[in-house]
Structure formats: structure tokens, C-alpha cells
Structure 1
């Protein structure tokens, strides 16, 4: 079975489709890599840092949250202006990628065509994830429309984004393999600059008020049979 991964990092954004990476991965789409040697274990830092820990601590929510597959360090000579460690890419498995290597559609794009029951269930899943993600300082992940993907009834996150007031217990440590943690600090999403940046870099302080504003926008476009009840929440 083909193993497709979501590649997190500014370096991953720049790689064109069709390029081979580290003699192992094939770029098949924007930030979507295929492992051509899945029988081999991927590289993984011996010490975990604050960019990887949230994924591990949210393993019990793997129905919705991707998992860390490994890391890939790109050759420094790709960009002589890059900061040491900047070309480190975090690879996520169990990402919202279909068997053909394409991202599942965003919830926003499927919202108006979904049934009332499905709309309510998507919102319920967001609410169920709010507390565990807030406790780890990554609730912003639920406020980025393009980060919310749906596979039928199932809500899935493309990656995690860190809040401004992230838990200091998740502060980064330098991996013992020599990769400087500041490299992970430069990881960013491929989407609009207005979005919060990846879990590796502080972004915005997620609040229930912000979540409510997102819900209000969705509820205005909800099915007529549930729109009034949802807006009353």
C-alpha cells in the first residue's frame, strides 16, 4: 500500500512536484510526499521537542489528529541563505490524504452540500477536540479553515498549530542528533500568511470567543432545519 505523508516546513513548501528527496521520498503534491521505501524505518530525533510532543500526547485522538512518522533533513546546499537546521521537515502519517495521494476536501468546501446531521456532527467533533488541544496549546488548529478536512462524517486535522499562550512545558529541546531546534521554529504552513503558523512557532491565542466567531460564520450557512438552533448556542 502506498504511504503518503504530509510534510511540514518551509523547505517542504518550496519543493516542486516530482522531485525526489533524500533518495527516499517522492513529492507527489504540494507538501504531500510518498515514501518509496516504507519497509525502512524513518529518521527520528532521539530527544523529542515541543514541535513533536503535542502529536504524541494527542495519540488517543488519532481519529482526527495526524501522527509523527519521522523527520527528513534536506541538504543545506539547497539554499545557502538558510539557517542551520532550517531545512528539517517533519513528516506526518495518518494525515487527511486519500489513497490516491490527494488531500481530503476542507470542511468549508463541503459545508453547504452536507446534510444537517453531518454539519452538526462536524461541529460536535470540533467541540470534543477543543479541550484536549487547548490543554496542549494547539487549539488554533481548529480555527484555520483550510486545516479542517473531512472524510465523510469524520473530521481530520491536516497538522497542528501552536497558540501564543502555549504551555511552557512543551518548550523545545535540542535533538541529540545535532539538528538545532531553531530549525523547527521556522516551519510554516503553505497557506495564507494570515493563518497561524505551524505547531513549531507561536501564532495566536485561541479563545472560545474566536471559536464562537467561526461557528457563527458556519451556522449562517447551515441547513435551514438546524441553523436557528445552532446560532442560539
Structure 2
């Protein structure tokens, strides 16, 4: 069985498709890696940092949130401008990637073809995820349209984004301020499919 992983980190974005990483992973698409040795345990950090902990604490929401598979330390010489820690890639399993290694479509791209019931259900899932994600400082993950992927009825997050200082004013539940964060494109589109 092929194991496809979502690779998180600035170093992962720079790797070209087709490159082999750490004698174990193959880059099959931007930030999508295939584990060529899934029978071996992946590397995992001895100390858990602030980027990994939210994934672990959100395990009860694994229907929507990916899980940490492991990490991959890239060689420092890849980028002479890199700073320590910048070349660590977090690998996520249970990401919104299909069996062929392709990302599921974004909610935004599927919005106009979805029924009104499905649209409401996707929004309800965002609503339900808001509190647990905001408690861990990653609610802004729900405000990045390209991060919201859909697999039929199910909303899935590609990765978690740490809330910035500007996001600290986010209320305990999403409000009408969503249009300022990219959701106005969903609201302004044609009516849902009948």
C-alpha cells in the first residue's frame, strides 16, 4: 500500500518533484511525499515543539485534522541561508490526499457544484472545529481557503497554521469577519447546485 504524506515546512516547498529525500521519501507533487519504506518507523523528535503538539492534541478530530507521521531532517547544505531548525520537515499522515497521491479538491473549488445541504454541512464542520483549534492557537487554519479540502461530505484540513498576533483578536466563534479572510468568494458566487 502506498503511503502519501503531506510535508510541512518552508524547505519542503522548495524541493522539486521527483527528488528523493533522506534515502526514503520520493517527492511526487509539491509538498506530497511518498514513503518508499513504510515498513520502517519514521524519525520522530525527542522534544515535541509547538508545531507538533497541536496535531497530537487534536487527535480526537482526526476525521478532519491530519496526524503527525514523523519528521525528516534535510541536510543543512541544501540552503546556505537556512537557519537551524528551518530544514526540519514535519510529515503528516491522514492528510487530504487520495490513493493516487493527489490532493482532494478545495472547498472553494467545489462550492458552486455542491448542494445547499452539503455547503451548510461543510460550514457546520468549520463551526465545530473552531473552538478546539482556537484553544490551541491554530484557528486561522480554518481561514485559509486553500487549506480546506473536501472529500465528499467531509471537510479536511491540509495542515495547521499557528495563529499570528493579528489573529489573537479572533472571537470564540467565527463571525461576519470571515469575508475579510477570503470567504467572500464563497458567499458571492452563484447559488448552490440544485
Asked if Structure 1 and Structure 2 have the same fold, meaning a TM-score greater than 0.5 normalized by the shorter chain, the answer is yes
Q: CA deviation at 1:163?
A: 1.1
Distance 1:148 1:35, change over 3 A: same
- Aligned counterparts of 2:59 and 2:149: Cα–Cα separation in 1: 18
Asked if 1:193 is matched to 2:192, the reply is yes
Q: CA deviation at 1:103?
A: 0.3
Q: Which 10-residue stretch deviates more, 103-112 or 82-91?
A: 82-91
**Structure 1: unaligned runs, 5 residues or longer:** 195-233
**1:132 equivalent in structure 2:** 132
Offset from partner CA, 1:173-205 (integer Å, 9 cap, x none): xx99999999999999999999xxxxxxxxxxx
Q: CA deviation at 1:51?
A: 0.6
Q: CA deviation at 1:167?
A: 12
Offset from partner CA, 1:66-121 (integer Å, 9 cap, x none): 00000001111111221122211000000000000000000000000001110110
Q: CA deviation at 1:20?
A: 0.1
SS in structure 1 of the partner of residue 183 of structure 2 = helix
Q: Is the 8 A contact 2:98 2:104 kept in 1?
A: yes
Aligned residues: 191
SS in structure 2 of the partner of residue 26 of structure 1 = strand
Distance 1:168 1:153, change over 3 A: closer
Q: Is the 8 A contact 2:178 2:184 kept in 1?
A: no
Q: Which 10-residue stretch deviates more, 160-169 or 121-130?
A: 160-169
TM-score, normalization by structure 2: 0.84
Distance 1:148 1:161, change over 3 A: same
**2:182 equivalent in structure 1:** 183
**Structure 2: unaligned runs, 5 residues or longer:** none
Distance 1:158 1:191, change over 3 A: farther
SS in structure 1 of the partner of residue 69 of structure 2 = strand
Offset from partner CA, 1:5-32 (integer Å, 9 cap, x none): 0000111001000000000000000000
Spell out structure 1 runs of 4+ moving beyond 4 A.
165-171, 175-194
